[in-house]
Structure 1
Amino acid sequence: MPRARVSLLSLGSVRQGLRDSIRHLQSSSARASSTSPNEVEHSDFATEVEINDLPDGSAASERIAKAIGCSVNDLNAYFDPADPSTLSITAKSLKASPQMRTSLLEWRQNIPPISLRTERAKKAYRRPIGLNAAFEKALKVLTVDKHEKYERILRLTDKVEGIINQFNVKAIDEIPVQKKRSEAYLTAGLIRKLRIDAEINFPEVTSQFEMGKFDMRLPVYQHLVRARWEKNDRLLLIDRMESMHVIPDTLPTLYPQVDVKVRFPGTNTFWIDPGRVMSTGVTASEPKFSIQMFEDSTKLFTIVIVDPDTPDLLTDSYKTTLHYILSDISISGNSPLVDKANANELVSYLPPHPEKNSGYHRYAVWVFEQPNCEPLSTEKLASFDLQNRDSFDIRRFSQLYGLKAVGAHFWRNKYDSRTESVREKYGLPQGLVYSHKRYQHYEDYAWALPDLEVGDENKA
């Protein structure tokens, strides 16, 4: 298989990250140099004192008064020493000295971390003693580490550019010498790892990721989204595809590399989980797809939907029915939604219409990556009869076009009260009704085979 094109990292984004880290270090140094000894002492105290940790009575008042440089009488005007948990901050107290104002405000705040989901947990949270001071020191350590990593990234990026310029090519996969090409690939992988390590421990990165407000073009968020997917949705997909035998009934195996999601328009606007049983009335509408990549690149994909549970009376077994093919789908890491208007619909969507008593039908959605990011060949399309939906060979189809399965999904349907209306709406023929009765002679079920005559058992 030819390798996908690997573009160089943007030097602008790397240098911008380096400038940000240097600017943060300079601002931290400026704040530290402009802070007076009294303010530093007060700041340490303000971060180490918690309301619930103070003793009751006058001891609390004396301790606070000594720290903020005021008398106990002045402090009692704003603070009830008998009840430290009910601190009253009035307009008058906020207009007091800067030391007292800052102490009261920081002491009052007890903001819970974003990881706490329930209101009960947020109310029960108590900030650890010395958290603010430890946070500032840890943030400074992270900033220094980020600065060092971005300096190394610049050196490694120059190294990769030097290798590419040495052979006068535009991309790593065009380097003619195998040894140099491998060296460039390894260096590019190290650059990506360093960019992730430089950002992943910062609180704002974690906060943006938890709130869902992030840019998938950045490697750190690609790494976090992939890790969450591999821990949850990917395991669920593989488990259900194997337990319900979608693998190997359609394709022999799958190693998921993209997160495929499916939903149907109408009232059910949520992304369905793999294997969900759906009403034929809902699945009559063409589904919407999402293909989430975990890299900053653009690729072409093909979506194929098949039903491997169509009864075949000729063989007394099952056959695979083709329901949909959409090719040349352009997807990038930051734009996962499938836009049908910019794709090539090879076979229109056929709504699921299971026959009565035929059991559950699995509708497998396979996502293939197109080789070399090129559209499917029209010459090969002409050699494959895509209009014949019956007995569709998805394995032969993928081999013919060199398609690589990178993702999948599936849902299930069975005959229900909406099936006949779906058949009538889309002009589909009337379905058969199956029973558990087993016929002993061919003449008993020849009525279901309109193309054969009674007595022509050899054709069956």
Structure 2
Amino acid sequence: MPYQCFQEARKVLAADREEKLVQIAEQRRRIAKWQAAPAQTQREEGSKKGRLVAMQKHLEDLKILADINDPVIRKRFEDGMGRLPPSFDLDPFYLQRLTFVRSGDMDRPIYRYLADRKWRSYDRKLLMQRIEQHHLVPDILPHLNPTASVSIGFGRRNVQPGQFVGSVISKLPLHLNIQVFDKGLRLVTIAVVDPDVPDVANDSFTSRCHYLAVNIPLSPTNRSVPLRSLNEEKHIVQSWLPPFAQKGAPYHRLAVIVLQQNGESAMDVKDLRKWQTKREGWRLKQLLTHHKELLPVGAGLFRTRWDEGTDGVMERAGLAGVNMEFLRKKGEKNVYKKKDGARYR
């Protein structure tokens, strides 16, 4: 009896999918009709664009609804996508889906939808908690609403948001895995900022740019960004500077910010190098002021502190302040804290 019920349920799912496919074909026909219709005035042109955007969104929703209840897609997503289930039942319902199973990846709206939902269920909440806990907003950015998943790694070591990373490990450029959940190719800018640089002269803190690269292509299927492999002439404005903290100083926050550029137009790397010359005192807010088209879409965070390998890393990188040590200033003696005992004798 359970087997018959399962088969009947699959028939219902197959019929529902066929209905959605008919709706998808009809929606595509409507979109093509609206695209071919001429607009007489500028107002009609704006109304046409708004209508096409809404129709395109409805089309994407129909694509998701057509596959959301497919047990094969659910199984493949839980298995990590791109692999066939171990026991593949070759009945007619699955035979017609065989080609889709073998080529299914993040190009399909259903997998992007499921991945986005899974990321928002836990990983994004953890990231937002770390961003609020370590005050990345407003210390680095005035606001941040992550829509892309950013994973940080050094070599084979994955770094959780806010985790401490040793100086010997972080001396080499990190490896990013940036997963976007909307279709299409886009260019992004990646900045690594340290907002906890001691400013001894002003008895305060300033920020430092540890890395800045622009015009990095990104798509749902092209998500791996090894910083050490980027072309210097096309992308890199500021090369990788190993994170470090002097002895006695508090830990430093290293924020990895991903900013989406406007459309597919590339930024002028040579022009950026002219005014992005200094690292000390560099602020990401100034970059956003000069380039208002940049939109923060993702962030990562790790921390560093002084350890036994810091001095060696600083010497090999040619950094100043290797032998510098910060000591806590002793407070002034309060003469009224302890009263003279002779007066009570």
Same fold, TM exceeding 0.5?
yes
In the alignment, what sits opposite 2:178? 291
* Residue in structure 1 matching 2:230, options 338, 341, 351: 341
Deviation at 1:273, TM superposition (A): 1.1
Contact 1:167 1:175 in 2 (8 A): no
Aligned ranges 1:151-170 → 2 under 5 Å = 151-167=22-38
TM-align CA RMSD: 2.0
Distance 2:230 2:280 in 1: 27
Whole-Å Cα distance in 2 between the matches of residues 185 and 256 of structure 1?
23
Deviations 1:141-187 (A, max 9, x none): 1111111111111111111112222249xxxxx99711111111111
Residue 312 (structure 1) aligned with residue 202 (structure 2): no
What SS does the aligned partner of 2:300 have?
Answer: strand
Number of the residue aligned with 1:396? 286
Q: Specify the alignment match of 1:73 in structure 2.
A: none
Aligned partners of 1:310, 1:285: CA distance in 2, in Å?
Answer: 20
**Which residue in 2 is equivalent to 1:4?**
none
State the AA in 1 paired with 2:218: I
Q: Specify which of 370, 390, 403 is matched with residue 261 of structure 2.
A: 370
State the partner residue of 1:355. 246
Aligned match of 1:249: 139
Q: Tell me, yes or no, if structure 1 residue 429 matches structure 2 residue 320.
A: yes
Q: Counterparts of 1:108-119 in structure 2 under 5 Å?
A: none
Runs of 4+ in 1 over 4 A off after TM superposition: none
Alignment deviations for residues 85-112 of structure 1 (CA, whole Å, 9 cap, x no partner): xxxxxxxxxxxxxxxxxxxxxxxxxxxx
Letter in 1 for 2:171: A
Within 5 Å, which residues of 2 pair with 1:56-455? Answer: 130-167=1-38, 177-214=45-82, 215-265=105-155, 269-338=156-225, 340-341=229-230, 344-378=235-269, 380-381=271-272, 384=275, 386-402=276-292, 403-431=294-322, 432-437=324-329
> Is the 1:380–1:400 contact (alpha carbons within 8 Å) kept by the matching residues of 2?
no
Quick one: percent identity of the two aligned structures?
A: 29
Against the structure 1 CA distance between its residues 237 and 378, is the aligned structure 2 distance closer, same or farther, given a 3 Å change threshold?
Answer: same
1:341 Cα offset (Å): 3.2
Unaligned stretches of 5+ residues in structure 2: 83-104, 333-345
Q: What does the per-residue CA deviation read over 1:384-433, in whole Å, with 9 as the maximum and x for residues that have no partner?
A: 2x221010021010221221101100100000001011012222223320
Measured against aligned partners, the alpha-carbon deviations of 1:61-106 in whole angstroms (never above 9, x if no partner) come to xxxxxxxxxxxxxxxxxxxxxxxxxxxxxxxxxxxxxxxxxxxxxx
- Counterpart CA distance in 1 for 2:177 and 2:321 is 33
Q: What secondary structure does 2:218 align onto?
A: strand
Mark the runs of 5 or more structure 1 residues left unpaired by the alignment. Answer: 1-129, 169-173, 441-460
Q: Output one character per residue of 1:195-214: Cα deviation in whole Å (capped at 9) or x when no partner.
A: 11111111101110011124
Paired residues of 2:237 and 2:273 also in contact (CA < 8 A): no
8 Å Cα contact 1:380-1:401 kept in structure 2? no
- Structure with the higher helix share, 1 or 2: 1
- Between 1 and 2, higher relative CO (CA 8 Å, sep ≥ 6) is seen in 2
Report the alpha carbon displacement of residue 274 of structure 1 after superposing the two structures with TM. Answer: 0.5
**For 1:143 and 1:202, how far apart are their aligned partners in 2?**
8
Give yes or no for contact 1:292–1:333 (8 Å, CA) kept in 2. Answer: yes
Q: Is the 8 A contact 1:302 1:325 kept in 2?
A: yes
- Measured in 2, the distance between the counterparts of 1:378 and 1:424 equals 29
1:382 deviation in Å? 5.5
How far apart, in 2, do the equivalents of 1:217 and 1:394 lie? 32
DSSP 3-state at the match of 1:283: coil
Q: Give the counterpart letter for 1:285 in structure 2.
A: L
Residue identity opposite 2:255 in structure 1: A
TM-score in terms of structure 1 length: 0.63
- Length, aligned pairs only: 302
Letter paired with 1:284:
K
